[in-house]
Structure 1
Amino acid sequence: MRHTELTMGRSFALAFDDGDDFVAELTGFCAEMGIRQAIIPMFLGGFRRVALVGANGPLEDPEAPVWDDETVLHTVEAVGAATVAWSPESDSLAPHIHVAVGRKDLGAAGSVSHLLRAEVQFIQEMFLQEVVSPRLLRPKCGPHAVPTLSFEPGAETEPS
């Protein structure tokens, strides 16, 4: 495990509106406010459509990440959390968002996964906390080149 102490900056409450593209609105807000790294401890609300990482059937390699398969669900309630860091490979914002969703039409049957895309239904409420330092990065690491949260060189706390 790696760890570092964070210096926090501004705090924001965001209210997404019906029909908003959730990821585009989030990344647009961060760009407008000059936010390159943040934690999102919680968001909640509804999605008209949500695309999650998920396969329908056996995985070829259960130890490898699922990159290309997605599951699309409609009319769900959602709760989630995220981190926002900078991708050095793409030189862009790299949010890592996970959600738990329940389908309104199937007795709130649930799914939990990495969020790819979503269209807001009615409202999404989010709290976002900017991280001032250290720089949070999301380079590709490990045998499967998974974008992984890292800290600027020298920022990691040494084990005691």
Structure 2
Amino acid sequence: MRAAELTMGRTFVVHFDHGDDFYTALAEFCIEHDVRQGFIPMFIAGMREVQLVGTCERLDNPDAPVWSAVHLENVEAIGAGTLAYDEESNVVLPHIHVSVGLKAHSATAHTSHLLGAKIQFLTEVYLVEVSAPSFIRTRQPAMYDVPLLTFGES
């Protein structure tokens, strides 16, 4: 287990517009407001299309991460995640999970890691900046090279 006491920074509500790319809009917001790390306790969204981690194929190793995508259209979503800063590439690295309901299929739900999305009508994101400690994603070679959140110096 890892833990760190957080020093909070600013708190935002961000509205993504119809047709926006979710991750592009999030990156633009982070640049414009100089947000490098934090967490998204919740967002609500209408999405024209989403790509989630998933597969319908039999898994050779059920313990290994799945890297393929499932494409869904016309969904309502609720999600949350974290933002870590990568100094080497000078970008914010989001880690977002969502639950989405297919509107045309009795709101049948899917839950997974969000790979990409296009906004339909709106997305309202609540974002809390973390001032300290630093959030870093460190790849774990012994765990299929998955980048895990770690904490740097305060």
- Give the secondary structure class of the aligned counterpart of 1:56: coil
* Equivalent residues in 2 for 1:133-144, closer than 5 Å: 133-143=132-142, 144=144
TM-score normalised per structure 1: 0.91
Unaligned runs of 5+ in 1: 156-160
Equivalents in 2 of 1:86, 1:149: separation in Å? 10
CA contact (8 A) 1:52 1:114 kept: yes
Q: What is residue 145 of structure 1 aligned with on the other side? A: 145
Task: Write the deviation string for residues 10-51 of structure 1: whole angstroms up to 9, x where unpaired.
Answer: 010111111010111001110111111011000002100000
CA contact (8 A) 1:45 1:123 kept: yes
Q: What is residue 49 of structure 1 aligned with on the other side? A: 49
Q: What is residue 66 of structure 1 aligned with on the other side? A: 66
Task: Write the deviation string for residues 70-115 of structure 1: whole angstroms up to 9, x where unpaired.
Answer: 0010000000001000235644211000000000010000000000
Q: What is residue 27 of structure 2 aligned with on the other side? A: 27
Query: Is 1:11 aligned to 2:23, yes or no?
Result: no
Sequence identity percentage: 48
Unaligned runs of 5+ in 2: none
Cα RMSD after superposing both structures: 1.3
Task: Write the deviation string for residues 105-158 of structure 1: whole angstroms up to 9, x where unpaired.
Answer: 1000000000011000011111000000111101112421101000005x6xxx
Query: Is 1:92 aligned to 2:91, yes or no?
Result: yes
Letter aligned with residue 48 of structure 1: R
Equivalents in 1 of 2:120, 2:105: separation in Å? 17
Higher strand share: 2
Q: Which moved more, 1:136-145 or 1:20-29?
A: 136-145
Q: What is residue 108 of structure 2 aligned with on the other side? A: 109
Equivalents in 2 of 1:127, 1:25: separation in Å? 14
